[in-house]
């Protein structure tokens, strides 16, 4: 079975440009999470969806960040405009159910560098 | 709010030696506790989890962890480390009613000397 698929794996862009990160969760999973990983702050939950509905976006840093999940098989995380401090690895993860099973399945991440 | 502390940022052990990675949590009720492993350039993979019952849980790759309520700890152990265990290890916590929202510790980087 395919795992969580993220694209692009690497993105280098200039400050002010729009960045869109994409995620395809595991088929049948109904919860989707976006995490950001940096050396300074570790793993931070940005937002999570359940049945395509955003449940908690309290981790989204500011209005420049937005996330959507138009259907069960696709989600995007957009940064507009991007800034150098947004440089990080962004992970998408999915899971089955809303019980706190904790078994998140992570993609390989999208490494973003903003110059 | 719940929090997770991993006091060791880096640990180096010799191959074949035993390993213990520390994790402490802060939460009023019994949390759900997890250990994840991240290999370089990869996403995180679940090693093991504790919900209730037996406080010693077994995971994949020969790892185990013990929940100690009195110490608010959930330390990860392995009797004999292999060079392939070199990775970063994250402890995480969630709670009833929190969905699958996990709070991760800052991670412990494990280096294995041959």
Q: What are the mean pLDDT values of chain A's consecutive 10-residue runs (115 residues total)?
A: 91 97 95 92 91 92 94 97 96 79 86 97
From chain B residues 25-84, the ones with a CB under 8 A of any chain A CB are: 32, 34, 41-46, 49, 51
CA B20-B22-B25 angle, to 5 degrees, is 150
Quote the pLDDT of residue B103: 87
d(CA A33, CA A47): 6
3-state secondary structure of B60: helix
**pLDDT grade, residue B7 (50/70/90)?**
very high
A8 cis-preceded (ω within 30 degrees of 0): yes
pLDDT in tens, B53-92: 889 999 999 999 999 999 999 999 999 999 999 999 999 9
- Of B3, B32, B53, the closest CA to residue A101 belongs to B32
Mutate which of B23, B99, B105 to disrupt the A interface (most A C-beta within 10 Å)? B99
Do residues B58 and B46 make contact, with C-beta atoms less than 8 angstroms apart? no
Phi and psi at residue B82, in whole multiples of 5°? -110, 155
**pLDDT grade, residue B3 (50/70/90)?**
confident
Contacts of B94 in chain A (CB under 8 A): 100, 102
Residue of B nearest to A10 (CA): B41
Contacts of A108 in chain B (CB under 8 A): 41-43
Instruction: Please count the residues of chain A.
Output: 115
What DSSP string runs through B46-71?
EEEEE-SS-SEEE-GGG-EEEEEGGG
B100: pLDDT strictly greater than 70: no
What are the start-end ranges of the H helices in chain B?
none
3-state secondary structure of B52: coil
Quote the pLDDT of residue B25: 92
Quote the pLDDT of residue B27: 74
Task: Locate B79 and state its tokens.
Answer: 């009797």
Residue of B nearest to A107 (CA): B43
Cβ within 8 Å, pair B43-A103: no
Cβ within 8 Å, pair B105-A95: no
The CA-to-CA distance between both ends of chain A, in Å, stands at 36
User: Residues of A near B (CB-CB distance < 8 A)?
Assistant: 4, 31, 33, 42-43, 45, 48, 50, 55-56, 91, 93, 95, 97-104, 106-109
Cβ within 8 Å, pair B99-A106: no
C-alpha to C-alpha distances, B57 to A21, A92, B65, nearest whole angstrom: 36, 27, 5
């Amino acid at each position: 079975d395919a795992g969580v698929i993220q694209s692009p794996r690497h993105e280098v862009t200039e400050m002010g440009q729009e960045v869109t990160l994409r995620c395809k969760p595991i088929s049948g999973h109904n919860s989707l999470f976006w995490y950001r990983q940096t050396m300074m702050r570790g793993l931070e939950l940005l937002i999570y969806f359940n049945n395509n509905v955003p449940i908690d976006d309290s981790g989204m840093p500011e209005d420049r960040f937005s996330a959507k999940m138009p259907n069960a098989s696709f989600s995007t995380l957009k940064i507009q405009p991007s800034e150098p401090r947004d440089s990080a690895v962004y992970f998408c993860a999915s899971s089955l159910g809303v019980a706190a099973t904790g078994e998140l399945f992570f993609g390989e991440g999208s490494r973003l560098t903003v110059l | 709010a719940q929090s997770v502390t991993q006091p060791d940022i880096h640990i180096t052990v010799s191959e074949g030696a035993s390993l213990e990675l520390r994790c402490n949590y802060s939460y009023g009720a019994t949390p759900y506790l997890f250990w994840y492993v991240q290999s370089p350039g990869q996403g995180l993979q679940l090693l093991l989890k504790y919900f209730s019952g037996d406080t010693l849980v077994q995971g994949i790759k020969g790892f185990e962890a013990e929940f100690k309520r009195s110490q608010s700890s959930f330390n990860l152990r392995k009797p004999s480390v292999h060079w392939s265990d070199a990775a970063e290890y994250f402890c995480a916590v969630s709670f009833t009613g929190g969905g699958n929202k996990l709070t991760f510790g800052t991670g412990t980087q494990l280096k294995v000397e041959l």
